[in-house]
Every structure is written in structure tokens, then in C-alpha cells.
Structure 1
Amino acid sequence: MADYHPFHPSPRRPAILPPPGTCDSQFHVLGDPETYPTRPGAAYQMPTATWERARHVHEQLGISRGIIVQTTTYGADHSVVLDALKAMGANYKGCANALVFAEKDEAYLAELDAAGVNGARFSFREALGAVLNDEDFRAATDRLRDLGWYMKVQPEQTGIAQHVDKLSGVDIPILIDHMGRADASKGVNDENITALKKQLDRGNVWVMLSLGEKISVEGAPFDDVVPLAQTLIEHAPERCVWATDWPHPVSKNPPPNDADLLELFYRYAPDEGLRKQILVDNPAKLFGFEAWPQ
């Protein structure tokens, strides 16, 4: 198991707090391997990235809601997510790892659904493992439709363009992670941005504005990712959401302070109304939260 940098230990308050009801559309929780055994072949573990630490990050940043996304570290065993959902309360929902469809039974899926899980993440990153074969992918898509869950897609490092054929027949809501893993060195004309825009035109596809710090090839302050995010927002502002991706798994460089990432998003969306749409209204619609009280 390779060594990677841990999350920033001291999240600060952002210069401007986000609007009430802001949702972190992807963060992960992990824990003590004695309690939550890692999957054989897992690419990483981060036992200090507990739900308590995640809640502290959200309190510092002014985040009200969040989606706990099962990591590949635990595969189909969602014990850590179930425990975190119980502890963190009704303003949090869960997203399963798609391995659950190949390795667990209907009773387990019902348990996840009852606990607040209403989506599943399909990883296409071969290096992390946990990638379903084509037959299991099709079967899992059918079960998502039956359950009323959304599909979440983690593209390979080289981007979403290579995966669009696999998604072409999927008619349920699809959330594509990390701006499709565009190549920032190619700018807004990168093939992954072009492919992602075509996917957004389908009407059932959403994009998560996240991982700017890793997509950037220039490094902080990540100027090269701003136009990528802005072109996606301009193309489909009603189907963009934002996420910290805390605790920033498999980081080859020290992750920035999470407030830096929220402030990077503010550069993507300078208008206050647009920020509220992406941080509050859009995730409420996609993830099934009630409207935040005005």
C-alpha cells in the first residue's frame, strides 16, 4: 500500500462563508482498521480521517450538508458509512461503492437505502481497483433504476472522454466527478471538456466541480482550472455541484487547506446567486434534500 499525504490538519474559516444550506457533494470517512478492515488490495488507508474530523472541517467552512461517499478502501463493506450517517444526522446522505451490487444481497441494499444511501459510485480507475466488468455494470445500472438511486462516475486519470460510450444507454441521473478529469494544460478545448459538455446536453448528467488542486498543472493558486470550471458552469449551471473531496485520497502532494478550495470555487462562480444555485439548490435537487429554509 503506497504512502500518500494526509489532509490539512487545521482547516481555517474561509474569507467569505458560503450560503446557508451549502452541501459538500463528496467527502469520505475512514477509521481504525481494527473496526473497519481494509479491502485486500486497497490502494490506501487513512484511519485518522474519521467522521468527527470531517464534521470539524464542515463546521470550519460553514458547510451544512454533505454526501458521504464510500471509498474503494473498504469495497462493498459499508460499515464506516453506515456508522457515519447515524452519527452525522439527517443533513447527510450516503453514496455506495458499486461493488455492493456484485458482492452483497438485496437485504444489504435495503439497509443502505434505509440509512440514507441513494446513489452508487462507479470507479473507472484501474489503479484503485474496484472496477466492475461490463456484465456487472449493466446489472448494477438496472438495480440503480429500481432503487431510484443516481449513478456517480469516477473517471480514469486520463479523463471522461474514454468512458462516454459506456454511459450512452444510462437513462438515470449521472454525476460525473472531478470536472471529468480534464487536462488543464489543454484548456477549455480539451477533449474531456468537449465530451463532458455533450454529456451535459443529455439532460440527466450532472458534473461535480472538484479536484481543482489535482487537475491543475500549474499548482496554487490553480489559475489554470478556473476557465475549465467556468465553461462547465456556463454550459449547464443547473446541473453543477461542488465538493471538497476531503480527505483528498492518494494525494502525491500535500493537500491545500480546505478553505482554499472553497475560495477557489468562489473564483469559478463570482456571482452570489450562482454560488447559491451550485452549493445549495442543485445538490438539494440531485440528492433529494428538502429545500433549505429561507
Structure 2
Amino acid sequence: MPDYLPFDPTPHAPRPLPPALACDSQFHVFGPRERYPVRPGAAYEMPTATWQVAQKLHATLGVQRGVIVQATTYGADHQVVLDALAGLNASGSPRRYMACANAAVLVERDDAYLQRLHDAGVRGARFTRGGLGISFTPQQQERALERVRELGWYVKVQPEPGGIAEQMQAFLHLQDVPVLMDHMGRANPELGENDPSLACILELFQRGNFWVMLSLSEKISRQGAPWNDVVPLARRLIDAAPDRCVWGSDWPHPVSVKQPPNEGDLLELLYRFAPDAEMLHKILVANPAHFFGFETP
């Protein structure tokens, strides 16, 4: 299994700080390994990145809400997420942290386990890209989607490195389930309006239940930091559906073969995507509160 680079250990606070109740709509937790064993056949393992470190990161960034996304590293065993939710929400209500399961749990675990996840604050299931080692037969996928519907959860789709366009065929029939497309669909910023993944997202926006996450700029960019080529792509998505865009750091940046970015820089990049204060409030506060179901204090 390859070694992947750890997160930047010295995040800086963005200037200015984000609005109150800003949400990091995607981050992961890993390890320690002696407590949370990696599943057999896992495609990758990351250096330890605990919920306690994530909590300090968010305090530095001025982020007060977050969504933990289960990594394929652990498959259907969500103990690392359950423990993180318990720790991050220990101060009481309203709940500041929620989570998204890996869709493997919908195939491999029973209703009692799913209810346990729901009670802890899990509200969605992520269907991950093929190269990460979790896949379903058509029958399993349909059953998984039906369980999402029964639970009242959302569907999350992780794009393939070449873009999300072809993957979305399996989700086009969903009309009564919210669908969140990760990482700006991994559209190619060099192609602009000619990119098939961008065209797919813009078409799906017309349906009303499809959303997009503004994230993974450091890997989408063809130019590298400060990721100028990603700005027009993000603005195109925001202009098309300002009420259905959310932002995520993707900390600790799984499967990174180059040094992951500083989270303060990523938030400041978002400020370039959405320089208007009202739009920034939508992306960081109002939109995630609506999509994930955060309660207003």
C-alpha cells in the first residue's frame, strides 16, 4: 500500500474569519490504527488524523459546524465516525457535527446498525469511485438507494479522476432524494464550457434536487497553487445554482501524493469563488444548514 502525505500541521486562520456557524461539509477522520483497524483489502491508509485534531483545525479556521465523511479505509465499520460524532458533539445540543456513511454499510449491515448511525447524526451515504475498492451489483445499488430513501438520507457521489459525467447515469432516476456531487464533479478547468462533467452538473441543476460541493481545488487545478484556473469553474457553478453549493476542506486530503494545502489557504480561495458576503454566507452557513439539517440555535 503506497504511503500518502499527511495534512499541513500548521493551518493558519483565514483573513477574514468566515461567518458564524460556517460549515466544513466534508472532512475525514483516521486512526489511531490500534483502535480502528483498516478493513481487509483497503485501497489506502492515511497517517493518523483524529477528530481531536480536526476540532483544533476548525477552531483555528473559525468553522463551527462540520460533516464527517466515512473513508473507504474502514468500509462498513463506522466506529471511527461514531466516536468522532460523540466527541465533537459532547458539549450538547444543538448538534454541530453530522456525518455521511459509506454506502457499503447499506449493503453489509442490518437495520439496527443503520438506525444507530442515524441516531448519532449520520444523514447520507457516499457512493465512492471505483478505484477505491467498494462496488455494487446493479441489484445491490438499487437496494442501497432504496435504504437511503427509507432512512430519509441524501446520496453523495464521489467523482472518478476523469470526471463525474458517466457515473451520474446510475443516479438520474432519483427525484425524491437529495444528491450531492463531490469535488465540483472533477470538471477539467482547461475545457471550460466544453467539459462533459460541467455540462452534466449544469443539466442536473435544472432538476432541483442535485447539489455540488466546492472542494478538491488543489487536485482539480492544472496550474497548481494558488489555483487560479479553478476560480472560473467554481463561479460558473455558483452562478448556476447559488442555493445548492456547499464547501468542504476534504481534510486530511486522502490519497495525496503532493503536499496537501493549508486549510487557511483553501478558505481564502473560497472567498475568491464567492467575494460577495451574502453569497459566502449561503455557501458556508445557509446552504449546508438546509441540506444536512443543522438546527439553528
**Given the two structures, how large is their TM-score scaled by the length of structure 1?**
0.97
Give the letter aligned to residue 241 of structure 2.
A
Does 2:65 correspond to 1:65? yes
Shift of 1:43: 2.1
User: Does the aligned pair in 2 maintain the 1:187–1:224 contact within 8 Å?
Assistant: no
Provide the rounded CA distance (Å) in 1 between the counterparts of 2:185 and 2:16.
Answer: 27
SS in structure 2 at match of 1:112: helix
Structure 2 unaligned segments of length 5 or more: list them.
90-94
- 8 A Cα contact 1:188 1:231, kept in partner: no
| Alpha carbons 2:5, 2:47 under 8 Å: kept | no
Q: Which residue of 1 aligns with 2:151?
A: 147
How far apart are 1:185 and its partner, in Å? Answer: 2.0
CA-to-partner distance for each residue in 1:150-182, whole Å, 9 max, x for gaps?
000001111111122211111200000000011
Residue 10 of structure 1 deviates from its aligned partner by 0.6
Equivalent residue letter for 1:177: D
Q: Choose which of 273, 284, 287 in structure 2 pairs with 1:282.
A: 287
Question: 2:76 aligns to what SS in structure 1?
Answer: coil
Is the partner of 2:229 in helix, strand or coil? helix
Please name the residue that 2:195 is paired with: 190
Query: In the TM superposition, what are the counterparts of 1:206-225 in structure 2 within 5 Å?
Result: 206-225=211-230
**Residue 290 of structure 1, CA deviation:** 1.6
SS in 1 for 2:83: helix
- 1:55: which partner in 2? 55
Which amino acid in 2 is paired with 1:20? A
Aligned to 1:254: 259
Match in the other structure for 2:271:
266
SS at match of 1:217: coil
Q: Deviations over 1:51-81 (max 9, x none)?
A: 0111111011000000010000000000000
Q: CA deviation at 1:237?
A: 0.2
Matches within 5 A, 1:172-191: 172-191=177-196
Q: How does 1:90-109 map to 2 (within 5 A)?
A: 90-109=95-114
Preserved contact between residue 4 and residue 47 of structure 2 (Cα < 8 Å): no
Give the drift of 1:47: 4.3
| Equivalent residue letter for 2:138 | D
Residue aligned with 2:161, SS: coil
Moved more, 29-38 or 261-270: 29-38
Is 1:130 paired with 2:134? yes
- 3-state SS of 1:175 partner: strand
Residue aligning to 1:202: 207
Q: Which residue pairs with 1:238 in the alignment?
A: 243
* Residues 1:6 and 2:10 aligned together: no
Provide structure 1 residue ranges, at least 5 long, that are not aligned to the other structure.
none
- Give the match's secondary structure for 1:81: helix
Report Cα offsets for 1:168-204 as digits up to 9, x if no partner: 1112000000000111221243111111111111100
TM, length-normalised to structure 2: 0.96
Is the 1:241–1:283 Cα contact (8 Å) retained in structure 2? yes
Contact 2:157/2:180, CA 8 A, preserved across alignment: yes
Would you say how many aligned residue pairs link Structure 1 and Structure 2? Answer: 291
In the alignment, the residues of structure 2 paired with residue 265 and residue 13 of structure 1 have an alpha-carbon distance, to the nearest angstrom, of 14
CA RMSD of aligned residues (A): 0.9
